[in-house]
Structure 1
């Protein structure tokens, strides 16, 4: 009599309930992968909600935002009085702010998460939009007083009457704290970064050109609507741009969401890596479970279950496990986001009004993905379960017969060879574009990884026992027995090691990329920084050097010459200096000493050394390729213009130059020329190159420079080595984030080893019982299991390192044209990973080994 489908489903559910231990770790693998994906969606949503709320609340009460029209540098200050006299407009506020660096009275920087700024502050009831009511002190007056946000005042112990050093891109000032304010914009005052407010008149005097402002916000009078006010403003002041605050808030929210998509994609990618590694763990688990349940399936076949019903029953179990693990993963994702928010709050970067970021994507996508991955992983073991014959119910053991490895080994070896060939081809074929070569290397990597998956069992047969003998040498006969055991099931060994191989390969490749980037940057700065020292601003690039830097440095004893490097937007002959970007450069001093370049063509009869000196000259320099593309001739004059309402000046092309690097733009104007067409607030000091006088001690000059620029708060004194180390620190920070995310894959791999060893112990219960019966001590059983795990882990790590080094080398060959031409092998990282893999093996084996050691001899050798 055939069994019904409902009966088979009951069998599957009872099997899940009665074998909680062997499925628990599989559920955990699903949980880890889906938790990361769910957490990624939730965290991105929480970030977006925080920004959206801040934007929306900051525009509450703002009916219309007025900005300069096309080609205008700003709104004339005289227009503010006109707007205030308009009886169809309620309140008018100047909406300007400037990025600043803030220090205490002694000149020590007040540094915290976030960027410090100073804005126009209005008393409560006079502001358009969110009020900033005082909680202590008085309103600021004039250009020498400010109010400070409450969180920063608490963080740094500031109160009314205290003095602050405030540095902006143009100057440095000593300002008094008049009062402390809070805000009704939810979360805006929670940052510990100093956010200063100054009275309107004082701000105009100190932080504007005295002629124009960048933006004005308006409110409607009485019960007037925003739309009516917008219509009036558009009709009465058509020379300006205008829009409602609500619409601008929506546009800003859309821009924020678009920017945060990268964060989401980045985090989801690592979640998918975790699920990929988990796939092999799940497949391995179900393979072992099927092998252990051979008699059970045979009995079901004898009772009338069809092959299809057996296969479907295993798939059904996988479906239940996938749904359960994915659902728990969503809950774990919520916990992950809550933990991240708690850490951010503890470090002064709270995400207020964000919630946990729950959305349908954060719930549905991880559940679907986790379930599908689990079912796919269990499909092959389920097919194998359906092939069990009823006669196998009479076997005395549950050991499944292994099929030969020949076919899969040949297929895997061929696939790996093709992958290696594709990667090498992509690495050396310099006739193709970098993108095409990178794709070819990626295809090659895929071939190598899949090839190893198929050929891994055959490779493990000679390698793992050999590793086991070396590792087990100090342990005598137990070590030899562990090495022998590791050879018995090569499929299981290879599949268990494969998860660790993937994680180690990615870590190795990324480590190689990071070390190469650091070495290449060190070479670049050593070869290209020609000055003795460089005065530079913060690494983030958010704040330029104060204009006072030049004069402060010039007054230091031992300074022979300075090279000033400015960044500014410009148009040359009506076109941007580079496609899609108006950014160009200006230099004061010797061009070839300030920047790593050489002049190629100069005006006929002019000496190159003299042509490189820019002091007092009018003109500009360009790359030969840009000059040829635009038809510019050395000695001929062309129009240089500020891109927004700037002035225009005719200046000659002084020469063409050859040089590349992050500090070199395609067009470089002289400072004298730039000052004629650029608005002062658009010309930002980027670096100052300092050369010492002959015989001056470098350390003494550094000390003098550091003392001179200390009051400016943001200026660093660096030599070429310092610059390389600073950039290397940024690379290390990026790598640490990647390593932390890749740790997920390694954790899942560790669970895979735990899972495999646990099921292995269950499967070998009789064997372990016999060992105990003939006198093997519990300690020796534990040692045997641990040695097997260490051999498997080291095997997986070795293969991962080899694949990772090959991947890293191939990609770095492709990126050689981008300046990464000093390939470095991270030997230290490799050593730590090998040692770590042995530790991973030990830790993963502790619980299974302890379980094996507790096996009772008489119970183990008894027939089931």
Structure 2
């Protein structure tokens, strides 16, 4: 039986080629996902733990809630006491924070979010074990810095050059004293690291004479556990100690938690690609078995049992799957390497191909074809040998009253009802309900496509009658000749279009919401933000006083309040200017009340807490400060807005309770409005600080929507794999159809249909298959996009459904173009059918 199966595979290798290619693509996807995820986890773990082997014990300052979140007492005296403990070879006090390096044009170098600054902490020999200098030496003066090797190369800096560096305390120019290499814990991938002298770093990132943590190095032969006990016995209140090994484990767990999410997303899309491939495989074996009905019946007639024939066919599918899986493993490993290149900001490491990945990929790739081929084989085995020998082909067209159709209709109705229920109730489990309902509805639609194919395809008949009356009519008849085959082919494309259309609807709706929220609320010309997403110091805005004609107000946020029994964040603004910089839609009271020391509250906050204008609320803060505030205005605001505060207060009132609030942004308006000169003036007034970004409305719109756009582009790239497999399914279906219809094609040629006409007919069949899948997929995608969008409306005020007609049309055009490309080879074969051979009696 094995020899027979192997001989059959080679005999039908051309017909099985695209099936094997589809399996290979699916295995490639899942192998690439697993290999990339494992490699990324290993690289991230190595980076997160690199350097901790030299640390015996790490002492850190903890935030003290009772002291306004101020870190515990970790200063030079603590470091001196730790250095005197038995078994301690050296101590190194560390501080770190945000520090951006400017290039020679004044723009930040590297990834702003990972622009780090730290202190050079030399031991007795003048060296810091955390850094290995390749040029120069560590900074020792207040006007010197050192840069990591990658940042120095990117900026073209050499030792002795002047480098401008900015922190949350301002920007200055420094002399570059050295260039170094360091471990991954100090320098994130794609980031920059600037070293300052110890006192300078403390002034920028903490307080003079204080440390964020202290690293202890042990003398040879010291028991780390005993050393930890000795360290804990002398630690002051508000500090804690942990071994370097334990800290490395904690850092590794934190680092890999984010990478696992990306791996799960990739594996999820791999599962979709494999699911789509199932239709192609099942369709191929349906046609192969139908073509070989006489052959199989003859085997039964000469003595082969039904079970033996079934085993031969399943062995064929196993051989196809196994060979395709081996190829998919190899290609998938290459795809993982390509992903590492594309995501350059992730840590690089050798590719990791684990036994689990090999086993999973091989099992999926070999079992999937067997499962997909089971139903066609079972259907063929039900045909008696005598009947099979007497007929060329036995088809089982879908009937409206069949059990399959009834069950599919029930699934569609149940799934649609679940989706609508989840969309209208918008409860905490709404998305789960919608997901389950979508799975049921999609499964039912796939089962109903054979019945839907005839009415949907008929809709396109008038258009085809105008374009090509004869060829179009033939294409329509051929497309609906075998509804099950047509349905299985179109189902793969429908799944891909459902995902693409749903993502387009959600992305367009979210982008328009963000755009409207930004343009409506912002009246200022510019918003100044930290380039790394950090909070700024309230003194950052002070230099704008010298900018002629400028109107500005910082957004000074202060936390830790209970206002009228409700957890609240107060945002301090300049009462005299805020009305010109932010558009407050006041629904009750007046914004002028800010100048009287009162507060203004967002409508959603007032509604949640039951507040009204004129109400005086008791105020409590975590540091036991108490007071009372009066509501002077209520205004409309979006709970998700980054600009409109939930509680707006005069900055003098916030300063009464919090001397060091964090500035989320600075709103600036200039006399001449937006322009290159105005932006340059604001930038220069703020000290040409590379840590600060001066953004106009267009910049903010781009910044807010870029994350959505980047994610959508990744998802579209992943969905494209399913589109490729669906196109292969169309090519395979048409190719097998051409083989089955050789006599018919020969007859049409004999009756006068030329090669161009045959080619046009096959291409129109492909377009009809593409149109059927695209129509059903787009309708389902828009429906699911609406349902999921409804779950966002409960938490995101102003979110509305937006149908991106252009993107939806582009997706449909891509599907149709893919269908047309898939028809090139089958159409070429159909046009070259030999007329005498095809029309000869069988």
SS of residue paired to 1:737 = helix
The one-character-per-residue Cα deviations of 1:352-408 (angstroms, maximum 9, x if unpaired) are: 3x2212234423333334444333322211210211211134336345454645424
- CA distance in structure 1 between the aligned counterparts of 2:547 and 2:164, rounded to whole angstroms: 22
- CA distance in structure 2 between the aligned counterparts of 1:619 and 1:512, rounded to whole angstroms: 39
Which residue is equivalent to 2:491?
A: 498
Which residue is equivalent to 1:386?
A: 381
- CA distance in structure 2 between the aligned counterparts of 1:588 and 1:219, rounded to whole angstroms: 48
Bigger drift between 138-147 and 497-506 goes to: 138-147
CA contact (8 A) 2:494 2:777 kept: yes
- CA distance in structure 2 between the aligned counterparts of 1:764 and 1:129, rounded to whole angstroms: 79
Structure 2 CA distance for partners of 1:77 and 1:472, relative to 1, 3 Å: farther
The one-character-per-residue Cα deviations of 1:496-544 (angstroms, maximum 9, x if unpaired) are: 1111111112111111111111222222233333545433334xx6333
CA contact (8 A) 2:96 2:116 kept: yes
Structure 2 CA distance for partners of 1:186 and 1:38, relative to 1, 3 Å: same
Which residue is equivalent to 1:229?
A: 227
Which residue is equivalent to 1:604?
A: none
- CA distance in structure 1 between the aligned counterparts of 2:333 and 2:739, rounded to whole angstroms: 35
Structure 2 CA distance for partners of 1:302 and 1:435, relative to 1, 3 Å: farther
Give the Å deviation of 1:94. Answer: 1.6
Which residue is equivalent to 1:167?
A: 166
SS of residue paired to 2:511 = helix
Structure 1, unaligned runs of 5 or more: 1-6, 579-583, 602-606, 642-647
Structure 2 CA distance for partners of 1:229 and 1:437, relative to 1, 3 Å: closer
- CA distance in structure 2 between the aligned counterparts of 1:337 and 1:142, rounded to whole angstroms: 46
Give the Å deviation of 1:654. Answer: 4.0
Matches within 5 A, 1:439-454: 439-454=432-447
Which residue is equivalent to 2:776?
A: 799
CA contact (8 A) 2:759 2:828 kept: yes
The one-character-per-residue Cα deviations of 1:762-787 (angstroms, maximum 9, x if unpaired) are: 22233333444555444433332222
- CA distance in structure 1 between the aligned counterparts of 2:834 and 2:640, rounded to whole angstroms: 70
Structure 2 CA distance for partners of 1:117 and 1:438, relative to 1, 3 Å: closer
CA contact (8 A) 1:618 1:652 kept: no
CA contact (8 A) 1:790 1:837 kept: no
Structure 2 CA distance for partners of 1:364 and 1:573, relative to 1, 3 Å: farther
Structure 2 CA distance for partners of 1:252 and 1:638, relative to 1, 3 Å: same
Which residue is equivalent to 1:655?
A: 631
- 1:761 and 2:738 are equivalent in the alignment: yes
CA contact (8 A) 1:422 1:440 kept: yes
CA contact (8 A) 2:472 2:761 kept: yes
Give the Å deviation of 1:241. Answer: 0.9
Structure 2 CA distance for partners of 1:365 and 1:98, relative to 1, 3 Å: same
- 1:135 and 2:134 are equivalent in the alignment: yes
Bigger drift between 112-121 and 794-803 goes to: 112-121
Give the Å deviation of 1:111. Answer: 3.5
Which residue is equivalent to 1:828?
A: 806
CA contact (8 A) 1:466 1:483 kept: no
Which residue is equivalent to 1:644?
A: none
Structure 2 CA distance for partners of 1:649 and 1:166, relative to 1, 3 Å: farther
State the TM-score, normalizing by the size of structure 1. 0.86
- CA distance in structure 1 between the aligned counterparts of 2:31 and 2:308, rounded to whole angstroms: 34
CA contact (8 A) 2:494 2:774 kept: yes
Structure 2, unaligned runs of 5 or more: 65-69
CA contact (8 A) 1:568 1:585 kept: yes
Which residue is equivalent to 1:374?
A: 369
Give the Å deviation of 1:166. Answer: 1.2
- CA distance in structure 2 between the aligned counterparts of 1:715 and 1:54, rounded to whole angstroms: 29
Bigger drift between 228-237 and 663-672 goes to: 663-672
Which residue is equivalent to 2:67?
A: none
- 1:60 and 2:38 are equivalent in the alignment: no
Give the Å deviation of 1:106. Answer: 4.7
- 1:846 and 2:828 are equivalent in the alignment: no
Which residue is equivalent to 1:563?
A: 553
Structure 2 CA distance for partners of 1:188 and 1:337, relative to 1, 3 Å: farther
Which residue is equivalent to 2:240?
A: 241
- 1:786 and 2:768 are equivalent in the alignment: no
Which residue is equivalent to 2:727?
A: 750
Which residue is equivalent to 1:93?
A: 92
The one-character-per-residue Cα deviations of 1:110-162 (angstroms, maximum 9, x if unpaired) are: 24587221112245996998542222223322122111111222222110122
Which residue is equivalent to 1:196?
A: 194
SS of residue paired to 1:612 = helix
Structure 2 CA distance for partners of 1:286 and 1:435, relative to 1, 3 Å: farther
- CA distance in structure 1 between the aligned counterparts of 2:749 and 2:830, rounded to whole angstroms: 10
Structure 2 CA distance for partners of 1:637 and 1:779, relative to 1, 3 Å: closer
Select 1:552's aligned residue among 543, 548, 552. Answer: 543
Give the Å deviation of 1:610. Answer: 4.8
- CA distance in structure 2 between the aligned counterparts of 1:639 and 1:113, rounded to whole angstroms: 33
Which residue is equivalent to 2:834?
A: 856
SS of residue paired to 1:712 = coil
- 1:356 and 2:351 are equivalent in the alignment: yes
CA contact (8 A) 2:524 2:667 kept: yes
The one-character-per-residue Cα deviations of 1:618-658 (angstroms, maximum 9, x if unpaired) are: 999794467679xx9835453343xxxxxx53343343856
- CA distance in structure 1 between the aligned counterparts of 2:736 and 2:359, rounded to whole angstroms: 32
- CA distance in structure 1 between the aligned counterparts of 2:810 and 2:266, rounded to whole angstroms: 26
Give the Å deviation of 1:795. Answer: 1.9
CA contact (8 A) 1:90 1:220 kept: yes
Which residue is equivalent to 2:15?
A: 22
- 1:423 and 2:413 are equivalent in the alignment: no
- CA distance in structure 2 between the aligned counterparts of 1:119 and 1:527, rounded to whole angstroms: 40
Give the Å deviation of 1:80. Answer: 2.1
Give the Å deviation of 1:51. Answer: 1.8
Give the Å deviation of 1:90. Answer: 0.8
Structure 2 CA distance for partners of 1:808 and 1:222, relative to 1, 3 Å: closer
CA contact (8 A) 1:41 1:264 kept: yes
- CA distance in structure 1 between the aligned counterparts of 2:203 and 2:653, rounded to whole angstroms: 27
Structure 2 CA distance for partners of 1:703 and 1:224, relative to 1, 3 Å: closer
Which residue is equivalent to 1:685?
A: 663
SS of residue paired to 1:133 = strand
